[in-house]
Structure 1
Amino acid sequence: MSDRIKAGIVGATGYTGVELLRLLAAHPNVDVCAVTSRSEAGIAVADYFPSLRGVYDLAFQAPDEADLAQCDVVFFATPNGVAMKEAPALLAQGVRVVDLSADYRLQDIPVWEKWYGMAHASPETVARAVYGLSEMNRDGIARAQLVANPGCYPTCVSLALLPLLKAGRLKENMPLIADCKSGVSGAGRKANVGTLFCEAGDNFKAYGVGGHRHLPEIKQTI
């Protein structure tokens, strides 16, 4: 019996997907056996991402054609709202799931629905999710069948504050200010005027000033 891990990736054409492909290609015990994309089904991974030529000989498959149940672990590199619909069926078949979107990050369903603007499709599954901040939940992640990968801002803010909190260096009711910056790649690959080079190059702007959906995730961790 092989001890190699068979991995699948749902929605592997975005920036998160290609970075995941690169990382898994370097893992000594992982074989990526299925990659899905609704828009690029039939296209070779190496043709879509030239940087992966000679690394993968896989082609993207439509999600309903890929045999994801054969995988030991499936990563969802999808927009918010996809994993919560598709992950429960895989979990029921014993497949481990790592969700890179926000579908399982918040344990408070009404708060999640408020910030993400949709009804949660599998609220009964949320309690099973382990928050994937390895510096805080390493043992739980190792045992989990469902891992909710943290957001970018919650990761950088939490990693900075957790040691101070554990050491008792922060006073009760002390206001915490997190001054965070991110590049436009964080907005994904979709076409958007605000992320065009002529708009974003040599530029700097605030966004989400009235409230950011990563805020409740940070509060939950802290």
Structure 2
Amino acid sequence: MQSNQEKIKVGIVGGTGYTGVELLRNLASHPAVEVTMITSRSEDGVAVADMYPNLRGIYDLQFSVPNIEQLKTCDVVFFATPHGVAMSMANALIENGVKVIDLAADFRIEDLAVWEKWYGMTHSGADLMTDVVYGLPEYYRLRIKKAKIIANPGCYPTSILLGILPLLKAGLVETTSIIADGKSGVSGAGKGANVAMLGAEMSESFKAYSVNGHRHQPEMVEKMNEVTGIPVDLTFVPHLVPMVRGMESTIYATLKPDVSKEMTQEAIQTLYEETYASEPF
């Protein structure tokens, strides 16, 4: 248990992308946290305040090359890195009592054969999966508190699972015909140079992408199967909209015949209000 005076020491691996800077911004207002190190190979020695002027006066830190021995001095280490980085370093950290929170996808899918198929690389952390909890607190809060490794959900899965899980848990909808239509802003693609993300390409445009299969689909299906105990058929199509950030997901599901008459719009509204009554959002 942390005392009132003792702050949680946090390290961030990969702090120069959109995810890293958003994490820095959120942690800046957390009264129980102290960010003690932040890493970036490309920006080694650069002050955080020089790269992000909006954080001037908040962080007196410089980016540094990742050093596992220094990271072991933290209480919690966040990974805001490309896929594959967290799994290569997590074991050394949790062996030293450091909690790991991966904001990438290394631990999101429990079936590693499925993970390898969708992410196109070998998963080197099979022995770590028993220490992993999926980081959707509305459904895994108690397990998250005890987890050594937390797998932060993907953006689309967060919005879609929160929308459909109340109906699935209550057994109210058919599991054979769920459709999710997701729309995301361009920052979700990260900072990497990409012609499709240029302003001239995406401005005043609206398009579907990864129509033949998106890697967030198996992540969502795995969690839906876990809740229902039976296979769930999900059709998921993501779309890119001309805005910097934000996400909107529309989910279509068919009520089961034996409940369709009694489940009025008011009853469904009540179900959602009761499910999330104690949640911050």
- Normalization by structure 2: what TM-score? 0.77
On the 8 A contact 1:104/1:126 being kept in 2, the answer is yes
Aligned partners of 1:107 and 1:127 also within 8 Å: no
Q: Does 1:70 align with 2:73?
A: yes
- For structure 1, which segment, 66-75 or 185-194, has the greater mean C-alpha deviation from structure 2 after superposition? 66-75
- SS of corresponding position for 2:157: helix
In the alignment, is residue 161 of structure 1 matched against residue 164 of structure 2? yes
**Does the 8 Å contact 1:34/1:66 carry over to 2?**
no
After the TM superposition, which residues 1-222 of structure 1 pair with which residues of structure 2 at under 5 Å, given as runs?
Answer: 2-64=5-67, 67-173=70-176, 175-222=177-224
Contact 1:113–1:119 (CA under 8 A) maintained in structure 2: yes
Residue type matched to 2:112 in 1?
Answer: I
Instruction: State the TM-score, normalized to the length of structure 1.
Output: 0.97
Q: Which amino acid aligns with 1:46?
A: A
Describe the SS at the equivalent of 2:91: helix
Unaligned stretches of 5+ residues in structure 1: none
Give the distance between the partners of 1:182 and 1:158, measured in 2 at CA: 16
CA displacement at 1:172 relative to structure 2: 4.2
Q: CA-atom RMSD, angstroms?
A: 1.2
Give the partner amino acid of 2:142. D
Provide runs of 4+ in structure 1 moved above 6 Å.
none
Larger radius of gyration: 2
Offset of 1:127 from its aligned partner? 2.4
**C-alpha contact 1:41 1:61 (8 A) present in aligned 2:** yes
Q: Give the 3-state SS of the residue equivalent to 2:184 in structure 1.
A: coil
* Identical columns (%): 57
Contact 2:68–2:89, Cα closer than 8 Å, also in 1: no
In the alignment, residue 103 of structure 1 is paired with which amino acid? D
Give the CA deviation at 1:221.
Answer: 0.8
1:59-106 deviation per Cα after TM superposition (whole angstroms, max 9, x unaligned): 001013771111000000001111011111111111000000000111
State how many pairs are aligned. 221
Task: Give 1:182 deviation, angstroms.
Answer: 0.4
CA contact (8 A) 1:130 1:144 kept: yes
Flag structure 2 segments of 5+ consecutive residues without an equivalent: 225-281
| Cα distance in 1 between the residues matched to 2:119 and 2:150 | 19
Distance 2:112 2:61 in 1: 37
